[in-house]
Amino acid sequence: MIKLYDFLSCPYGQKVRIVLAEKSLSYDLVPVDLTQGEHRRPEFLRLNPFGRVPVLVDDDTVVYDSTIINEYLEDEYPEPPVLPAVGSSALRSRARLFEDFADTSFTPQVGQLIVEVSKPEADRDQNRLQRLHQGVERVLDYLNNELKGQQFLAGEFSVADIGFAPRLLILGELGIDASANRANVDGWIKRMLERPSIQGLQGISADPVAAG
């Protein structure tokens, strides 16, 4: 039986839960309350010495880091796939590159924006807010260009799209209209929202506790 140790509003855990849903895999969700420091408890640190969610336990196998968890799930439960087909090396690389870009640039940047917006208005750094808004807008413009003539970022729906979904879908709460003057991004978002794995995702919100 698969167990997923997660904090519902963590975007990286949401990535994993999308993949689990895409593959119709049953699992037990073990909540780890970051607000109570449960990720620093010895029993959790035995699973992940870095003290971060998500962590996946599949029988005797323990895997942490959302990207590595999703690679494990793709290897162990290959159907339906969340990576382009084996042999499509260029597309598989493209999917992984976009997932990494989402993880290391887009998601943290939106997280910083969440933290700033969550402050009382008088305490907000307006220059930082402007920089963060502009940074997110630049990413959206780039994605709009990369999606020309494409349904998804790397062929079929894949980890490339999944990596962006959690933070992309809450931008409206932060005052950013991702679809404005971006027809390709608009269509992409609409296609993702048609998927049950996205529709059923819990915890999508601009929560400063799990902003990173």
Q: What is the pLDDT of residue 210?
A: 58
Residue 212 has pLDDT above 60, yes or no: no
Instruction: Give the span between the Cα atoms of 29 and 5, in whole angstroms.
Output: 6
Q: What is the pLDDT of residue 49?
A: 95
Q: Where are the domains of the chain?
A: 2-76, 89-201
Average pLDDT for residues 38-52, to the nearest whole number?
95
Q: What is the pLDDT of residue 202?
A: 74
Assess contact for 94 and 46: CB atoms under 8 A: no
Assess contact for 59 and 114: CB atoms under 8 A: no
* pLDDT band, very low/low/confident/very high, at 206 (cuts 50, 70, 90): low
CATH number of 89-201: 1.20.1050.10
Segment 48-98, tens digit of pLDDT: 999 999 999 999 999 999 999 999 999 999 999 999 987 789 999 999 999
Q: Active-site residues: which are they?
A: 10
Residues 6 or more apart whose Cβ sits within 8 Å of residue 14: 165, 166, 201, 203, 204
Q: What is the pLDDT of residue 172?
A: 93
Average pLDDT for residues 38-53, to the nearest whole number?
95
Average pLDDT for residues 25-36, to the nearest whole number?
95
Q: Which CATH class is domain 2-76?
A: alpha beta
Regarding pTM above 0.85, the answer is yes
Between CA 125 and CA 134, with CA 129 as vertex, the angle to 5 degrees is: 155
The DSSP line for the chain is: -EEEEE-TT-HHHHHHHHHHHHTT--EEEEE--GGGTGGGSHHHHTT-TT--S-EEEETTEEEESHHHHHHHHHHHS-SS-SSPPTT-HHHHHHHHHHHHHIIIIIHHHHHHHHHHHHS-GGG--HHHHHHHHHHHHHHHHHHHHHTTT-SBTTBSS-HHHHHHHHHHTTGGGGT--TTTT-HHHHHHHHHHHTSHHHHT----S--GGG--
Q: What is the pLDDT of residue 51?
A: 95
Q: What is the pLDDT of residue 96?
A: 97
Beta bridge partners of 57: 3, 62
Segment 143-201, tens digit of pLDDT: 999 999 999 999 999 999 999 999 999 999 999 999 999 999 999 999 999 999 999 88
